C-alpha cells in the first residue's frame, strides 16, 4: 500500500507560497526610471525589424542609441507582455537631467497599470530561475543543498527588489541560472549551453564572459576527439550568432559599422560613468565594495538620489514588510558571509576527497565564481548594487553547501556520542 507523499506535497505548497509572496509584492516595488526606458523601448516589438536597423550615416536617435547599447531581451519581453495584456508603451524616454514632474508631464512616467503589466512581463521568469538553480546545485552538491539554495535565493533582498522590476535583472538571473546548470553538467552539452548562454548575453552584456567560458569548456572535454571539439565549437558559436542576429535587427543592414558604433558607444558610456562616479579600480577597495553591496548595504532602490523625495513613500511602504529586507544588514549579512566562505571551504574539501566521483561540476562552479569576481572587480564601470546581483545564485549555492555540510557533521557527531553512551552502558 502506497503512503501519501506528505513531504513532496508540503514542499510543493511551500514553493507555491514563495511564488505567491514574490508575485504579490511586484506592485509594491519602488519605481526606477530605467523601467521607463525599457517600457519606452518595448515599442520596437510593434515595428518591422528592418525599421530598426542601423544604416550609416543616419542620424543617431535615442531609440537607435539604446538598440546599439543595450541587450534586447528585456524590452522584447516587455513589448510582447504589454501587447498580450492590452497595454501600450510610453511615448517618451525618461530624462535624468530634469525633474520628476517634468518627466511625468512629458509622458515618461508610466501609469500604474502599464508599469505593473511591464513588470509581470519579466517577473514570470522567477520560478524558472529557481528551477534552473535547483538543477545546477543538485549537480554540484546534492538535492538537499539544491532545495536550500533555492530558498536562500528566493528570500534574498536583492533578488526580491531587482528582479521584480521591468529591468534587465529578471531575465539575466533566469538565463544565468540556466547557464550555470548546463555549464556544470558533465559531459558538456553544446546546443543547450549555447542556447542559454546566448539568451543570457542578450539579457545583459555582463554575461559575455560566461559565453567565453563555454568555449574553453568545449576543449576540456577529454572524451571528445579534436575533430569533434572543433565541430562543437563551430556549432556553439553558430547558435550564439544566430540568437544574437535574431534578437538584434539593428545589426542586419550594416553589421560591421553597427558593431563598431556599438563598441564605441559602450566605451564612451563606461568612461563617462567612471568619470562621473570617480571609480577607483584598486582591487582591495573593489573587493570591499563588493562585500558591502552584496551582504551589508540595504537594498538600493535607486542608483543615484535624483528622485529620492519622490520615491520615499514607495520605499517606506516596500520596506514595511520585513521579508523585503531579510538578508541585508550587519547581523544577517555577517551570517551569510560566514556561510558563504564555509561553503566554498566545504566544496574544496569535497574536491580533495578521494570518494568524490563528480569533480567536474564543482571545478566548473569555482571557475564560474572566479570569472564573476574578476569581472565585477576589474570591469564594472560603476559599483551600483544591482550590478552584483549575478553573485546571489553562486553565493546561495555556497551557503546551502555549508548548511548541509554542517548539518551532516552535527548528525555524525551525535551518532558517535550516542554510540559512545551505548558502549558505556
pLDDT in tens, 130-158: 999 999 999 998 899 999 999 999 999 99
Q: What is the DSSP letter of 61?
A: -
Angle formed at CA 384 by CA 169 and CA 158, multiple of 5 degrees: 50
Encode the chain (425 residues) as per-residue pLDDT tens digits: 567 677 778 878 888 999 999 999 999 999 999 999 999 999 999 999 999 999 888 888 899 999 999 999 999 999 999 999 999 999 999 999 999 999 999 999 999 999 999 999 999 999 999 999 999 999 998 899 999 999 999 999 999 999 999 999 999 999 999 999 999 987 788 899 999 999 999 999 999 999 999 998 888 877 678 888 889 999 999 999 999 999 999 999 989 999 999 999 998 888 888 777 767 777 888 889 899 999 999 999 988 888 999 999 999 999 999 899 999 999 999 999 999 999 999 999 988 877 777 788 999 999 999 999 999 988 887 889 999 999 999 999 999 999 999 998 888 877 777 666 666 56
What are the grid coordinates assigned to 64, written together? 537607435
Report pLDDT for 225.
83
Report pLDDT for 82.
96
Report pLDDT for 93.
95
Asked if 32 and 307 count as a contact pair (C-beta separation under 8 A), the reply is: no
Q: Which residues contact 389 (CB under 8 A, 6 or more apart)?
A: 158, 159, 162, 163, 169, 172, 173
Report pLDDT for 59.
84
Report pLDDT for 271.
84
Amino acid at each position: 500500500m502506497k503512503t501519501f507523499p506528505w513531504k513532496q506535497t508540503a514542499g510543493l505548497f511551500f514553493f507555491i507560497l514563495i511564488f505567491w509572496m514574490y508575485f504579490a509584492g511586484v506592485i509594491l516595488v519602488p519605481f526606477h526610471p530605467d523601467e521607463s526606458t525599457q517600457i519606452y523601448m518595448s515599442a520596437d516589438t510593434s515595428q518591422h525589424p528592418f525599421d530598426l536597423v542601423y544604416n550609416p550615416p543616419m542620424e543617431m536617435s535615442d531609440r537607435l542609441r539604446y538598440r546599439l547599447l543595450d541587450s534586447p531581451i528585456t524590452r522584447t519581453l516587455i513589448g510582447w507582455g504589454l501587447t498580450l495584456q492590452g497595454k501600450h508603451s510610453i511615448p517618451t524616454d525618461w530624462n535624468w537631467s530634469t525633474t520628476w514632474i517634468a518627466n511625468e508631464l512629458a509622458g515618461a512616467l508610466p501609469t500604474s497599470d502599464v508599469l505593473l503589466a511591464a513588470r509581470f512581463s519579466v517577473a514570470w521568469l522567477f520560478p524558472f530561475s529557481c528551477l534552473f538553480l535547483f538543477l545546477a546545485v543538485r549537480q554540484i552538491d546534492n538535492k538537499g543543498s539544491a532545495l536550500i539554495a533555492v530558498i536562500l535565493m528566493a528570500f534574498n533582498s536583492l533578488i526580491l527588489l531587482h528582479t521584480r522590476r521591468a529591468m534587465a535583472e529578471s531575465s539575466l538571473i533566469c538565463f544565468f541560472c540556466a547557464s550555470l546548470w548546463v555549464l556544470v553538467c558533465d559531459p558538456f552539452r553544446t546546443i543547450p549551453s549555447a542556447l542559454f548562454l546566448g539568451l543570457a548575453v542578450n539579457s545583459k552584456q555582463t554575461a559575455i564572459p560566461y559565453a567565453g567560458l563555454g568555449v574553453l569548456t568545449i576543449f576540456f572535454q577529454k572524451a571528445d576527439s579534436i575533430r569533434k571539439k572543433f565541430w562543437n565549437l563551430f556549432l556553439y558559436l553558430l547558435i550564439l550568432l544566430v540568437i544574437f542576429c535574431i534578437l538584434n535587427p539593428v545589426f542586419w543592414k550594416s553589421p560591421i559599422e553597427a558593431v563598431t558604433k556599438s563598441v564605441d558607444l559602450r566605451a564612451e558610456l563606461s568612461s563617462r560613468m567612471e568619470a562621473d562616479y570617480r571609480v577607483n579600480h584598486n582591487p582591495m577597495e573593489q573587493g570591499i565594495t563588493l562585500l558591502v553591496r552584496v551582504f551589508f548595504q540595504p537594498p538600493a532602490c535607486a542608483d543615484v538620489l535624483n528622485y529620492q523625495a519622490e520615491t520615499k513613500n514607495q520605499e517606506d511602504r516596500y520596506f514595511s514588510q520585513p521579508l523585503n529586507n531579510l538578508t541585508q544588514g550587519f547581523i544577517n549579512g555577517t551570517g551569510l558571509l560566514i556561510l558563504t566562505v564555509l561553503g566554498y571551504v566545504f566544496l574544496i574539501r569535497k574536491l580533495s576527497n578521494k570518494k568524490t566521483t563528480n569533480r567536474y561540476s564543482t571545478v566548473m562552479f569555482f571557475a564560474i565564481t572566479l570569472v564573476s569576481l574578476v569581472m565585477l572587480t576589474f570591469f564594472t564601470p560603476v559599483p551600483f548594487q544591482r550590478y552584483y546581483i549575478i553573485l546571489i545564485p553562486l553565493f546561495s549555492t555556497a551557503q546551502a553547501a555549508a548548511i548541509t555540510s554542517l548539518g551532516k557533521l552535527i548528525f555524525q557527531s551525535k551518532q558517535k556520542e550516542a554510540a559512545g553512551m551505548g558502549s558505556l552502558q
